[in-house]
Amino acid sequence: MTVRSRLRHARRALLLAGAAMALVSGALAASGTQPAAAASLPCDIYASGGTPCVAAYSTTRALYASYNGPLYQIQRSSDGTSMNIGLLSAGGDVNAAPQVSFCSGTTCTITKIYDQSPNHSDLPISWGGFWHGPGPNGSDVGANAMALPMMINGHQAFGVRVTPGTGYRVDNVTLPTGSQPEGVYMVTSSNLYNNQCCFDFGSGETSHTDTGNGHMNAIEFGSACWFGGCTGPGPWVEADLENGMYSTNTGPNTASNPGVHYPFVSAWEKNNGTSNFTLKYGNAASGGLTTTYSGQLPNGYSPMHEEADILLGTGGDNSNGASGEFFEGAVTAGYPSDATENAVQAGLTTAGYAQTSAPSGPITAGLNSAKCVDDSAFSTANGNKIQMWDCTGGINQQWTVEPDGTLQVYGKCMDITGANYGNGTLIELWDCNGGANQQWKATNGTLVNPASGKCLDDPGSNTANGTQLVLWTCNGGSNQQWHLPS
């Protein structure tokens, strides 16, 4: 789906016998297909089902039991040095500890996500497209590597937090093309989404322009209702087939699909290229899959015209206004069976996806609990003001209380401007850098900066929307009282 269209209207699996297979036997019996047990990793299961992964990406874990290479590459801004982030063991979870050390006191960007499949179609930052990104020469930008902390199987990990302008893409790779069948899955989250085009993962155009109906086959996750008539608030798992994001073959969702709300959402789309596409979702932490649509392709999309391009975070022509979160995903050759997808989902629920153990949520005001500490206009720019605003539940009001004494949103820190400890110094958002002006300590309901001994303050006890917070001598006033997430 693109902004222009809006304007125009063999690896084999290791089979496990006995009791492990019984976990998924009920799901497999109906189809007669027998993929690997849930204990196998996603691409092993897909291969066993006859629809092997042709591209596989994750910043959290291996997607093949035999994989022991890097997951992604990061680059720090302080000196331009890069580092590959790998696994704790072959077929295991990410080893994120080197990243934490490497990025301490500076900002790190995810510059590449490695393809774990034999095709090695690694995803670099996109060079842009018809719609220019905010990077050099119209390129997109990479995600802040520290912006999405989470846990996988009890281990620290980081996802890919996509904000407008973020995009990854690789062209002319080994994928199903034309009307060849293709499957896609990813793990995302309802913690971050919007109604803009397009938080996509899947196949797109090699030219990064709109080349017509059916030239994309990607999952889109968000609350975009491009054809009108949607029921509920979303977000939805949709198919971006170019010139349309489809929840059904006519566009809008059905009343039985008002939205998906899990910290970790498994999203699924498959397309046989001529007559059928199917959409599903699940909770990546527990349970099975729900099919929201399975039926004919939209008018004008048969046969499909898929191209040899993989994208993450943007639309086919680089429409880059969307937000979203990505943890893992793969593209398959062939149309995966329901049994295979059920087995992959069963394996996902044992992977141990969990939110960070650090408390996270709104910081409400003691003067008026309906007001929250807010990052203005959802901006992640350094120097953006931290203000009072009505509590909305938005991601820009979800603060993480980190063990190092920082208060973070979008992976950036609440900062005392210029390390100036005078009364009235404005509070802003800034890259976390380990500075004393980014340290806060909760004391009797106040938030004290230890370096200055002064408090986070609502100036003049003014709870009007847009009032920027300041640093001020602690005085016991109710305008210096804050309720932290716990």
- C-alpha 401/C-alpha 398 separation (Å) is 10
**Helix, strand or coil for residue 146?**
coil
Q: Is 242 a catalytic residue?
A: yes
Out of 44, 242, 269, 307, which one is annotated catalytic? Answer: 242
- Distance (Å, rounded) from C-alpha 398 to C-alpha 13? 41
Peptide linkage before 303 cis (omega within 30 of 0): yes
Is residue 317 flagged as an active site residue?
yes
Helices vs. strands in the chain: H and E counts, helices first:
5, 34
* Beta carbons within 8 Å of 136's beta carbon, 6+ residues apart: none
Spatial separation of the C-alpha atoms in residues 97 and 71, rounded to whole Å: 14
CB 243 within 8 A of CB 274: no
DSSP assignment of 347-362 equals HHTTS-EEE-SS-EE-
Q: How far apart are CA 181 and CA 206, in angstroms?
A: 18
Q: What are phi and psi of 143, to 5 degrees?
A: -75, 150
Given the residues 93, 240, 317, 458, the one annotated as active site: 317
30 Cβ contact list (under 8 Å, min separation 6): 338, 339
Catalytic center residues: 242, 317
